[in-house]
Structure formats: C-alpha cells, structure tokens
Amino acid sequence: DVKVTQSSRYLVKRTGEKVFLECVQDMDHENMFWYRQDPGLGLRLIYFSYDVKMKEKGDIPEGYSVSREKKERFSLILESASTNQTSMYLCASSFPRRDDQPQHFGDGTRLSIL
C-alpha cells in the first residue's frame, strides 16, 4: 500500500514564525501536491511538483513556498505565518502525468497560528 506520511498531525505556531510542514511518500511517485482544506471550501491546491527541484503554483500559492530536494519528500513552507493560514494541510502523491491515476493522501496536519 502507498504510504504518505506527514510529519505532524497537530501543530501550533505563532504569527510571524517560519513554519515547515514535511511530507514523505514511499511509492516512488513523481507527482506530489500540497492542499489546504477549510470548512465549506473543500480542497484547494497550494503547490505541486512533477519532479525533484521542480514546482508549480496551484490556486492559492500566496504566502507559501515549497521545496523538493529528494523525490520522496515535499516540504511546504510558511515564510511568515499569519492567522489566516490556520487550516488543515494535506499532502498527496501520484504517478506522473496520467489522469487515470489516483492521488494518495496523508492524514493531514492541523495547523493553528496564534
């Protein structure tokens, strides 16, 4: 079974802090994704990556950056956390450029910015 592991289930940080959310997958997937999930808004794509050192902006990239130094690891960075970034963050991975391949998700990190 595909395993996508997010480093923390719950995280509490302060406004202005630099926050790192880590995601690791064990299926050698080229594609990796970061979403945020808010009540009533569903899943919104922040950034995605099709390969190592490659990144593409999703629908809501403002205030975020990403890093993909190794194929199995995709990090989401909040450069200066703000309260409106309090949310559930979900990481996913999939095989490359095939629209018949499902995305596999981690269990999420619930981030609170105080």
Partner 1 sequence: DAKTTQPNSMESNEEEPVHLPCNHSTISGTDYIHWYRQLPSQGPEYVIHGLTSNVNNRMASLAIAEDRKSSTLILHRATLRDAAVYYCSFMDSNYQLIWGAGTKLIIKP
Which parts of this chain interact with partner 1 (CB under 8 A)?
A: 4, 31, 40-45, 48, 58, 90, 92, 97-100, 102-108
Residue closer to partner 1 by CB (options 16, 96) is 96
Q: Which two tokens stand for residue 34?
A: 């970061």
Minimum CB–partner distance for residue 80 and partner 1 (Å): 27
Residue closer to partner 1 by CB (options 7, 15) is 7
Residue 107 exposure: Cα atoms within 13 Å on the Cβ side: 6
Residue closer to partner 1 by CB (options 69, 100) is 100
Q: Closest Cα to residue 51, out of 70, 38, 64, 65? A: 70
Cα 63 to Cα 7, 16, 36, 110: the distances in Å are 20, 11, 13, 17
Minimum CB–partner distance for residue 99 and partner 1 (Å): 4
